[in-house]
Amino acid sequence: MPHARLAGRYAKSLIGLAVEKNQLENVYKDMLFLEMVVNGSRDFVTLLKSPIIKSDKKQAILDAVTSNGNLSELTLGFSRLLVNKSRESNLPEIITAFIEQYKVIKGIFTIKLTTAVPVSEELKQAIVHKVQSETSMKNIDLRIEVDEKIIGGYVLEMGDKLVDASIAFDLSKISSQFKKNEFIFNIR
């Protein structure tokens, strides 16, 4: 994030205002909707960052995109403020910072599970229960990603901890052992 501090400040201000007006949950839902829009449309992000497009056009497009989302007045006002201050290009970073700060306030931990094939709902629940019983994390947001490159097994990321039980990781370890010729050295 090139403007992480700026995004953090704007997100913190929005959270403070949302808490003051007792609308934190509504604004969080709005940010999840906007995150979905930003992640779903590269053209939208490019438009927000374009110095050629005038701010009134950006505001009109932003209003059109958010009109169907039933966003709260607080979020709509915030988006207008960003356009007025010429900070609309930072909207994706602000959304990310807001969601991260919200999760800290609510004590929600994001865990990322990467597998080679999609996992069942029962397995997801089993993983959440296992993590809850083994750690102090009680509120868990489990993110699932499918990556065929890991071949099999799983990669579990919990904050600064990483559990790599993938076949690709095991194969890379074996490959490095062969490159070092550890087996030939041990035979002699």
Q: Are 58 and 47 in contact, with CB atoms under 8 Å apart?
A: yes
Q: What is the pairing mode between strands 153-158 and 161-166?
A: antiparallel
Enter the tokens of residue 119.
Answer: 């996992």
In the chain, where the domains are located: 4-104, 109-179
4-104 CATH: 1.10.520.20
Q: Say what the pLDDT of residue 8 is.
A: 93
Q: Say what the pLDDT of residue 68 is.
A: 72
Of 119, 115, 169, 168, nearest to 145 by C-alpha is: 115
Digitized pLDDT (tens) for each residue of the chain, 188 residues in all: 467 899 999 999 999 999 999 999 999 999 999 999 999 989 999 999 998 989 899 989 888 887 776 788 999 999 999 999 999 999 999 999 999 999 999 999 999 999 999 999 999 999 999 989 988 888 999 999 999 999 999 999 988 889 999 999 999 988 887 787 766 655 55
Residue type, 6: L
Beta bridge partners of 144: 113
Count of alpha carbons within 13 angstroms of residue 45, beta-carbon side: 14
Q: Which residues contact 153 (CB under 8 A, 6 or more apart)?
A: 115, 116, 165, 166, 167, 168, 169, 170
Strand order in the sheet with 108-115: 139-146, 108-115, 153-158, 161-166
Count of alpha carbons within 13 angstroms of residue 41, beta-carbon side: 16
* The model's pTM: 0.77
Helix (H, G, I), strand (E, B) or coil at 155: strand
Of 185, 168, 25, 1, nearest to 90 by C-alpha is: 1
